[in-house]
């Protein structure tokens, strides 16, 4: 788009269906590479990605011509198909419905990249549920408990 300038930085967070720990360390790097290609094919810039066994964080530089909901849907559908084609798990893999998306300014990019890449460290101190609730509260996102991810207690 001519004469259109933007700086949009979004962190996406979504969970494995039923919050099962299905993403193994052995497959994580291959999944990172595949999702990186999905992001790039949609003309977004991947800044950081980290899969935990039961959820994922993706931090991207986003263009205003991209629909957020279409972007997430396509990433989830295509990565589901990829994981299932690899037979990494018994049964069928899928991401849980819904997602979180949080926006940041340019001044926060380095800190968010570090945060996403340091997920292993964060989750030594807090659960995904604690982390996700903190994000929702920090960004003042209204939510109803019944519509959050199905958390394993």
pLDDT at 1: 52
Report the range of poorest mean pLDDT among 46-50, 115-119, 131-135. 131-135
How many angstroms separate the CA atoms of 91 and 94, rounded?
A: 10
pLDDT over 70 percentage in the chain: 95
Locate 92 and state its tokens: 């069928």
Strand, coil or helix: 139: coil
Enter the DSSP assignment of 2: T
Strand, coil or helix: 129: helix
pLDDT at 20: 85
pLDDT at 45 over 90: yes
The three-state DSSP-derived secondary structure of 53-90 is CCEEEEEEEECCCCCHHHHHHHHHHHHHHHHHHHCCCC
Q: What is the mean pLDDT of residues 18-30?
A: 92
pLDDT in tens, 56-109: 999 999 999 999 999 999 999 999 999 999 999 988 999 999 999 999 999 999
- pTM exceeding the 0.75 threshold for the entire prediction: yes
**42 CB-side CA count, 13 A:** 25
Average pLDDT, rounded, for the chain: 92
pLDDT at 28: 95
How many angstroms separate the CA atoms of 133 and 72, rounded?
A: 20
Q: How far, rounded to the nearest angstrom, does the alpha carbon of residue 15 sit from its chain's CA centroid?
A: 8
How many angstroms separate the CA atoms of 62 and 72, rounded?
A: 12
Residue with tokens 């800044």: 47
Q: How far, rounded to the nearest angstrom, does the alpha carbon of residue 108 sit from its chain's CA centroid?
A: 17
Complete domains list, the chain, with CATH: 8-147 (3.30.70.1290)
pLDDT over 90 percentage in the chain: 76
């Amino acid at each position: 788009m001519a004469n259109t300038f933007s700086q949009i930085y979004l962190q996406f967070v979504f969970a494995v269906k039923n919050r099962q720990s299905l993403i193994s360390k052995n497959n994580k790097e291959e999944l990172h590479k595949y999702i990186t290609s999905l992001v790039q094919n949609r003309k977004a810039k991947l800044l950081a990605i980290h899969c935990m066994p039961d959820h994922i964080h993706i931090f991207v530089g986003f263009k205003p011509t991209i629909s957020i909901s279409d972007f997430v849907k396509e990433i989830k559908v295509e990565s589901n198909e990829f994981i299932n084609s690899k037979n990494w798990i018994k049964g069928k893999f899928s991401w849980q419905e819904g997602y979180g998306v949080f926006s940041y300014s340019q001044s926060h990019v380095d800190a968010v990249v570090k945060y996403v890449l340091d997920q292993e460290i964060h989750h030594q101190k807090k659960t995904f549920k604690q982390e996700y609730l903190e994000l929702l509260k920090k960004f003042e996102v209204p939510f109803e408990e019944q519509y959050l991810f199905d958390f394993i207690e």
